């Protein structure tokens, strides 16, 4: 279900349409990490365009999306 939260948010607000893929990972009760990658690229830690670490998947996805969009707006 948590993966669907991130998926729905990224599609609703256009992250997927802007060519970003999302990886959402839960770390027990410690929190969530959301990582955006450029679509079509091999997903490795060095290819991440935006990351976010928060207590909820929603907030982690928002933080990572904001970081990815800022980098994209700055030309990479």
Take residue 20 and report the two structure tokens written for it: 């970003």
pLDDT digits (tens, 9 = 90+) for 20-47: 888 889 998 899 999 888 777 666 666 6
Rg of the chain over all Cα atoms, to the nearest angstrom: 11
Rounded Cα–Cα distance for residues 29 and 65 (Å): 22
Pairing of strands 31-38, 48-54: antiparallel
pLDDT (0 to 100) of residue 6: 53
For the chain, list the domains and their CATH numbers. 2-73 (3.30.160)
């Amino acid at each position: 279900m948590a993966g669907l939260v991130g998926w729905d948010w990224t599609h609703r607000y256009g992250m997927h349409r802007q060519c970003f893929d999302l990886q959402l990972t839960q770390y027990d009760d410690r929190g969530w990490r959301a990582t955006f990658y450029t679509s079509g690229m091999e997903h490795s830690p060095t290819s991440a365009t935006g990351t976010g670490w928060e207590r909820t998947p929603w907030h982690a996805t928002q933080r990572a999306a904001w970081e990815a969009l800022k980098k994209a707006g700055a030309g990479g």
